[in-house]
Amino acid sequence: MFVYKTIGGACVKSATPKSQGQGAAPAPAPSLGGAIAIQHPVGLRGRNLMADVTQIQSALARIAPAEGGAGPRFEVDGHCGPKTNNAIQQFQIKHFGWKGADGLVEPGRQTLQKLNALLARTAPASVVAPTTPTNTGSLTQPELRAAIELAQRWILSAQATVLAAVPLLHDTGRVDGLQAFGRDARMRLLNKHFQIDGHGIPTHRVQLILRVFDRMRQVFQRPGGMWGESAFEPDPLHTPGVAAYTWWGGFFLGGQSRKEAGHTIRLDTIYLCPDLKRLSEDIRAFVVVHELAHFVGHPEYIDDHAYNFQGKGAKIQRLTPQLRLLNAESYANFAFESARGGEPPAF
């Protein structure tokens, strides 16, 4: 069971200890591995539909360079240019040699199958050696990295989900053959979590969502930490019963700090508390995405208007479309469901 409270103007996600005998933290949901499907070939001389390109770029970004992928810094923008063609070829060379490197990913063919095989594995892709080891409360450096990498993959999935809907945003609902790729399917998660349709022109609100997830990705690209760990620090206050906290718009508060209980707390940092240790890896990653939403929201503050723990069909469903856009938990839910295809585990 989780409770939430506010400390010093910071959003704090807070946990009450589980009672003994209630079992460990919920097991991670079975990974769907984020399997991808494309309608038409992507790459050199491919048809390169934006939604297809997005899928392939997202897949390449989620696969580590050591495994032939392009890694999390790879740009997912839905446009197939030299960088994407090159990334496809590098992947093919790695797995099939030069003979198999035609630069084209085709539906049902070996390159797509190999991408899906790699995505299906549950272990986070890890290529870069740890930076300076830090003591994140009682969370070990590998545990911290695993949670952050998982969060990063969910964010990529979220971006892919949004980008796949963008070309059809203004489509009036004409059925165009493949139902799985139709507008309703592509808009499903956007409508479920953000109620995009039926509330005016969708473009601006979808752009905001895209910007939030894009900034989340930028957090991992900040200098000083190969995987962006530099934005994440152990909580120096050792706040009990709390999972993590950060500042609204901290992404834009570089170098600023304040004093809390004799400690210097940076405003451009997400603090991870020792309580994360008892939570499952999925929930740690969920907390990371939730806090990132607060962290990158600017100029509009992304706040806590409703949480999952307040119950299914309860408060979060009653938020207005505008408040959903400004609700941290909505971004975490959207990212989780984009990656896993289901609801996040209760905690």
* Interface contacts to Zn ion, rule CB under 5 A: 11, 304, 328
Q: How would you class 204 by CB atoms within 10 Å of its CB: exposed for 0-12, middle for 13-18, buried for 19 or more?
A: exposed
Bridge partners of 257?
266
- How do strand 104-105 and strand 242-246 relate by DSSP bridges? unpaired
Q: How far is the CB of 232 from Zn ion (least distance, A)?
A: 15
Q: How far is the CB of 296 from Zn ion (least distance, A)?
A: 13
Nearer to Zn ion, 260 or 304 (CB): 304
Q: How far is the CB of 290 from Zn ion (least distance, A)?
A: 6
Q: Which residue is nearest to Zn ion (CB)?
A: 11
Nearer to Zn ion, 11 or 87 (CB): 11
The amino acid occupying position 300 is E
Residues 6+ apart with CB under 8 A from 331: 158, 209, 212, 213, 289, 290, 292, 293, 302
Q: How far is the CB of 239 from Zn ion (least distance, A)?
A: 14
Nearer to Zn ion, 189 or 287 (CB): 287
Residues 6+ apart with CB under 8 A from 47: 40, 41
| Burial 90-110, CB ≥16 within 10 A → b, else e | bbbebbeeeebbbbbbeeeee
Length of the chain, in residues? 347
Cβ pair 151, 206 in contact under 8 A = no
Nearer to Zn ion, 106 or 304 (CB): 304
Q: How far is the CB of 39 from Zn ion (least distance, A)?
A: 38
Q: How far is the CB of 220 from Zn ion (least distance, A)?
A: 19
Q: How far is the CB of 302 from Zn ion (least distance, A)?
A: 8
Q: How far is the CB of 245 from Zn ion (least distance, A)?
A: 8
Nearer to Zn ion, 233 or 304 (CB): 304
Nearer to Zn ion, 81 or 311 (CB): 311
| Nearest residue to 235 (alpha-carbon basis) of 206, 270, 198, 185 | 270
Helices and strands (H and E) in the chain: how many: 10, 9
For residue 179, what is the DSSP state?
G
**Distance between CA 346 and CA 343 in Å, rounded?**
9
**Distance between CA 14 and CA 288 in Å, rounded?**
13
Cis link prior to 124 (omega < 30° from 0)?
no
What the block records as the tokens of 208 is 């905001």
